[in-house]
Structure 1
């Protein structure tokens, strides 16, 4: 059975970037595509006539995006769904019938609080399938491309799942897998002098052991995979954002479905989605 991708659309430049990315990936994977447009009814009148007009406008927007998808050259199946409702709730429900949910990411006050923006983070926290959040493409003048797929290693179950997904993605794409382990010596203000060079060396040795354990078995499973291990003395979000700037994909893990709190997504996943250095895939717990 082929995969199904749901791609959020709204006609903006940012959502077109997500649509283009999603269509390319669907074409590579032989997946069918469903485009979804949600009119936020939070501030709409509840009158029947007003809701009817909102639905009509949604249908027109969706038809335009479906036409764009077909003009792009995508040869697979494209369907569309237009609804009036709460965007996070509607996408959370839609994710139950998808193998991947693809969202664009807006920035700036114009789009603050709209369907995408920070709501992409909320959707990623509650979705029942993996979620890809796609930034607006940047030019070579803006950022140097770094071929490869980046994943964080920290020994947690979400990290283990992310590593497995990232390795499969890198092997399929024929690009390096860049495994990043971020470490920091415990800092107690005013007592930094207690950390000798020997203690720092011990911390680094522990980090080397942790990244070796986290990536163990990948060489046997993917003999042709180029694996790059990076130890970075920095906070995890900073390390991942720097490593992934210009990369093909960043893969991060979530703690699984369970509610709207950002903590259910994880502070690191939440942080990188706020920065979004490249297309970012949030994996789900098994």
Structure 2
């Protein structure tokens, strides 16, 4: 294992099939980046809240046995792995385990690439509270996908998302697709009609935002294919459209707080709600 947590990828391990998808994704990155893995399995619910009773001990022993079997398979491929099995609140324990880590990887807790505000509540809570980037792996086969899509809006959070996405695209040998979207501002009495010059100015401003965000990437990653997309439309729906064929999507998120929609920001919230592909939330 690396000398510091900044060299470690933490993975939430459960008995759900999607957890193995998350482990596989994290292991691939760990091998490429020469990072260690920490597999974290938490016994939650009423049993996890009681003391050292026989049922809790048996369940913990079974969880550790499964986790160690997974770890053994990963170690055979050259990945350094640590196993943590504990009792407690799974969300809180996983967030604490990832404090200072390079990355936290979790499987989605909802099925299929569909939307719904009540879907995946544990994932939302983890993404909103974690202090490191979080990757959410969906529970369906992605098939043949290409490209790393990143949402761009000119903010500092967006800058960090672009930097993270560029590094991942370079690692994966995939093109980086930077997407910035705009919508006309509503005005009284315009009935959805706008002067052509106004629309052209909005498009030009969005293209400039993209150019600034991508400046310097070509010199840092000379072999990286970079595609800039400045498009009219709502940011979340525009990113989701590109995500439908992408290998990875990266969005910026704004930090921590009481309400997940406002914590994550509406764009990252909507992208995670749809979860069309492996999605990274970077703060």
* TM tier relative to shorter chain: 0.7 to 0.9
State the alpha-carbon separation in 2 of the partners of residues 150 and 30 from structure 1. 24
* 1:51-89 deviation per Cα after TM superposition (whole angstroms, max 9, x unaligned): x52343133123213313423543222221112211221
Question: Structure 2 CA distance, aligned partners of 1:45 and 1:69?
Answer: 23
State whether structure 2 residue 120 is matched by structure 1 residue 122. Answer: no
User: 2:116 corresponds to which residue?
Assistant: none
Aligned mates of 1:172, 1:85 — CA distance in 2: 36
Matched, 1:82 2:85: yes
- 1: CA distance, partners of 2:192 / 2:233: 19
CA gap of 1:196–1:36, structure 2 versus 1, over 3 A, is: same
Deviation digits for residues 79-119 of structure 1, max 9, x if unmatched?
2111221122111211115221110002259xxxxxx9321
Q: Which residue of 2 aligns with 1:253?
A: 252
1:113 aligned residue: none
Structure 1: tracts of 5 or more residues without a match: 110-115
Verify the 8 A CA contact 1:5 1:101 in the aligned structure 2. yes
Residue 236 of structure 1 corresponds to 235
- Give the alignment's Cα RMSD to 1 decimal: 2.4
Supply the distance in 2 between the matched residues of 1:146 and 1:12 (Cα, whole angstroms): 24
- Say if 2:48 and 2:88, in contact at 8 Å, map to a contact too: no
Q: 2:271 is matched with which residue? A: 272
Whole-angstrom CA distance in 1 between matches of 2:104 and 2:135: 6
Aligned-pair distance for 1:194?
4.4
2: CA distance, partners of 1:271 / 1:58: 36
Task: Give the Cα–Cα distance (whole angstroms) in 2 for the partners of residues 23 and 185 of structure 1.
Answer: 43
| Corresponding residue number in structure 1 for 2:115 | none
Partner deviation per Cα, 1:147-197 (whole Å, 9 max, x = no partner): 211101100111010011111222232221100001111135763354122
1:212 aligned residue: 211
Q: Secondary structure at the match of 2:99?
A: helix
* Aligned position for 1:96: 99
Counterpart secondary structure, 2:120: coil
In the alignment of these two chains, the number of paired residues is 271
Report the Cα distance in structure 1 between the residues aligned to 2:67 and 2:258, rounded to whole angstroms: 29
**SS in structure 2 at match of 1:103:** strand
Do the aligned partners of 2:108 and 2:139 also contact (CA within 8 Å) in 1?
A: yes
**CA shift digits 1:232-285 (9 cap, x unpaired):** 2221111111112232211111223x334312222211211111111111223x
* 1:35 match: 39
Higher mean C-alpha deviation, range 233-242 or range 75-84: 75-84
* 1:35 and 1:62 in contact (8 A); partners too: no
**TM-score (norm: length of structure 1):** 0.86
Q: Any conservation in 1 of the 2:109–2:123 contact (CA below 8 Å)?
A: no
Q: What does 1:143-158 correspond to in 2, within 5 Å?
A: 145-158=144-157
Structure 1 residue 178 and structure 2 residue 173: aligned? no
Unpaired runs of at least 5, structure 2: 113-118
Alpha-carbon offset, residue 45 of structure 1: 8.1
Distance 1:225 1:126, change over 3 A: same
